[in-house]
A and B are shown apart, each in its own frame.
Chain A
Amino acid sequence: MKVIVCFKVIPDYDKVLQSDWKRYSFSYAKKSFGVFCEGALESALKIKDGIKDTYLEAVTYGESNNVLTQNLYAAGFSKVTLLKGRQDDFSSKSTALVLSRYIKKGNFDLVVCGEMVGPNDTGSVPYHLASYLNMKVIPDVTEFRVDDDVVIVSDDDSRTSEYILKEPVLAVVSDAKNAYLRFSSLKRRREAEKMKQNTVFVLPDLRSHKLKEKTVKKKEVKHIDAEELVNILRRYQND
C-alpha cells in the first residue's frame, strides 16, 4: 500500500508573543506541524503499524524544518519530501496544484491531509487537491485502523462511522484520535539524523499555474455529501 500525507510547518501560534501579532513576525517562534497535520501524520503511521510493508511518504510545500523532518523519519516515514517552487504563491489553489503535480506521479492508494493548517488557513487545500487529483474525499476522518490487511477509515459522524478503503481516496483528518506524532527511540532518532529530506523543485511558475488553473476550472469539483458517499462505499464493500 502506498500512502502520502501532506503536511505544513507553521509557527507554534501559542508561543508567539502578543506584541508580534501586530507585526506578523513569527520567524523566531518554535516551528510545529499544523495542528491537524500532526494528527494526519500520526494517523497514517497507524496504517504502517498494521501493514508493515506500507510505503509512507510525507510531503510539504514551501517551508520545512530539519528537526521535524528527522522526527518523521524516526517515527517511520519512508520518505519526507519538500516541494519548492519558483514563486512564493501559497494560495490554497496554488498549494493544491503543486501538491497534485507531485502526488500524481506516485500512484498512491491513499492521500491524507489535515483539515486545515492554522488560524489563517481557509481549509480548502484538501478539496482543491482532491479535485486536481480527481479523487473522492472522505471528510472528518478521525483514525485509520487495519483489520486483516484492510484499512478502515473512521470519521466523527456516528451515522457513517467507518469506510473500508477499496479505491484511491483523499482522507481529510480533523479531530484525530491520535493527535500528536509519536516519540521514537534514541536508536531510531540517531538513524534518522543521517536521512536527508527529498527536495523537489516544482514547475510551473505562477504564469503557467494560471494557465493550468484555467484547465482545472473546466473540471467539475465533486462535492459529495456524507450520505451519498456512504452509499457509494457500501456498494464497493458489497462488490
Chain B
Amino acid sequence: MEKERLEELKAIIPEERIILDRDAILDAAKDYIGFRRYERDSGHNMAPVASCILMVNSTEEVSAVLRYLNEKKIDVVPRTGGSSVTMGLEPVEGGVILDGSNMTGIISIDEENMQVTARCGMPLEQLEKTLNEKGYTTGHFPQSLPMAQMGGLVATRSIGQFSTLYGGIEDLLVGLEAVLADGTVVRIKNVPRRSCGPDLRHLFIGSEGTLGFVTEVTVKMFKYNPEGRWMGAFLVKNTRKGLEVIQEIMREGYKPAVCRLHDAVELKEVMHIKVPGDSSLLLFICDGPTDINKVTGKAIQKICLKHKAVPLGSKPVKQWFAVRNDVCNDMDKPIYYNMGVFADTCEISAAWSDIADIYENTIERVHNEVEKISLIGGHASHCYMTGTNIYFQFAVMEDNYQKAREDYMQVISIIMEETLKKGGSIAHHHGSGKYRTKWMPEEHGSSYELMYRLKEMMDPNGILNKGVILVEK
C-alpha cells in the first residue's frame, strides 16, 4: 500500500489494527474452494494478494473506513468468519480486507419477543451455546458452525442443517444494521412483519458484501428441546426413490428439521458402507415440541415404509449428528493433497420435477467427460414444498497444481450447465463467490439487470467485493 494512503488510514483506525504482515494477509484471504486448497497444500499461493487488513472494532469505524476507501476508490473485501468456499473472500490484487471479526458480542437477548441481536463478528457457535444455556436456540446450524460469524451468515444467505423446519437465514433474520459503500449507516428495524414496500433486508441477505457491510444482526430464537427430538434412518432403493419419499413428506405437510438423502457413492466413499445396488440413506430429525416430533416421526415412518424403505433405527442419525461439522477441523490439513486429489462440494437446487434428472445427468456427464474423475456423488439436505437441493461431492485425481483450477472448473461447468438446462438454480446456499459469477447472467435471466442497477445505486464506485455476482461490463 502506498505510504500516503497508509498514513491517511492511520488517522482513521489505530495503526496496530492495520495489518501489513503478508502471512496474515494471505491467511485472512484464504478461501477453501477445492483447487485453492490443493494449490496451497502444494506450497503455492495462486490467489491475488491484498495490501492490508483493516481490523474494525465498531460501526463508526466501518463507516469512516468505507467513506475513505470510497473516496479513494480502493477495492475492498468485507470479511468476518472466513469460511468461504467460493472465492468470495479473495481480494482484488492490492485491495484491502475489511475485517469485522473483532466486532464480537451479543447486544441483547430479548426473551419476550424471542429475538437475539449480535454484532457481525459474533461466532454463531458461541451465540448458540449462550442461547442453549438459557433454553433457546437459533435453529441455524450450517456445517461451517465452528467458523461462521453472524455478519457473514447474512451476507452469504447461509442455511443450516435444520433448515427444513427453521428455514434459511432469510427466514430467521429480523432486522439488521449495515454500512453502505460511502459510509452511510442504515438500520432496518426489528418487526415481525410489515407491508411498507420491498423488504430491504434482502438487499443485504446474500449480497456477499457487494452492496454494504453488515455490522449488526437480529435473528429469531426458538425453544431448545434436544431431548424431545425424534430421529430415524431408512434405506431406500435408490436416490430417485429417496427423492420421491422426501417429496411426499413435504407434500403431505410434515416438517422434519433435518431431511437428508445420501446416495450410494457417499455411503461407500464417505461412510465405507457397501449397500445393495444404488441404495440410498434417508436421515430425519424432528425438532421442536416433543409431542409434535412424535407425530411427525410416525408419519415419516409410515411414508418411508409405504415406499418399501428399510428402517435402520436412530443410530445412523445420531452418528451423523455427532460428527457432522468435523470437516471444519481438517480444512487446513493437506489430507486430500497427500491422497493425490482435490475434493470439494457444489450445491444446486431445482424443482421436484427436475432434481432427479439433474442429479443423474450430471453424474453421467462427469463420468464420461472428466478423464481424471475419481468419484462423484451427492446428497439432498434442504427440502421444500416445491423442490430440494443436491449437494454434489467430487474428487478428481491431480498431480499438477497449475492444472488444478482448470480441472476443477471442468466439473463445476458440467454441474452448472446441467442445472441451468433444467431451470434449476446454480447456487443453493454457498453463494456466487467469484467462481460462479460467469453463470449469473443465465441464472437470473432478464432480472439480472436489476443487480447492476442496485450496484450502481449502492456502490457507484464499485469498490465492494469486485468480481462477485456481477460480470464486469
Contacts and interface: CB of A to CB of B under 8 A. Distances in A.
B89 interface: no
A215 interface: no
B319 A15 contact: yes
Interface in A14-51: 14-15, 17-18, 28-32
B236 interface: no
A184 interface: yes
Q: Is the interface of A mostly helix, strand, loop or mixed?
A: loop
Contact of B326 (A14, A28, A185): A14
Nearest to A31: B272
A201 interface: no
B273 A67 contact: yes
Contact of B338 (A15, A65, A178): A178
Interface residues of B, number: 26
B341 A68 contact: no
Interface residues of A, number: 23
B367 A186 contact: yes
B316 A184 contact: no
A15 B322 contact: yes
A15 B373 CA distance: 27
Interface string A53-79: 000000000000111100000000000
A181 interface: yes
A68 B308 CA distance: 29
Contact of B316 (A28, A66, A182): A28
Nearest to B336: A183
A67 B319 contact: no
B187 interface: no
A185 B319 CA distance: 29
A189 B265 CA distance: 12
B317 to A, nearest CB: 11
A179 interface: yes
A180 B326 contact: no
B38 to A, nearest CB: 12
A85 B45 CA distance: 53
Given A15-B322, A28-B315, A185-B374, A179 B338 contact: yes
Given A67-B268, A67-B273, A68-B272, 11 more contacts: A17-B322, A28-B316, A30-B271, A30-B272, A67-B272, A67-B274, A179-B338, A180-B338, A183-B340, A186-B367, A186-B374
Interface of A: 14-15, 17-18, 28-32, 65-68, 178-186, 189
26 contacts: A15-B322, A15-B323, A17-B319, A17-B322, A30-B271, A31-B272, A32-B272, A65-B272, A65-B274, A67-B268, A67-B272, A67-B273, A178-B338, A181-B339, A182-B339, A182-B340, A183-B336, A183-B339, A183-B340, A183-B374, A183-B395, A183-B397, A184-B374, A185-B397, A186-B367, A186-B375
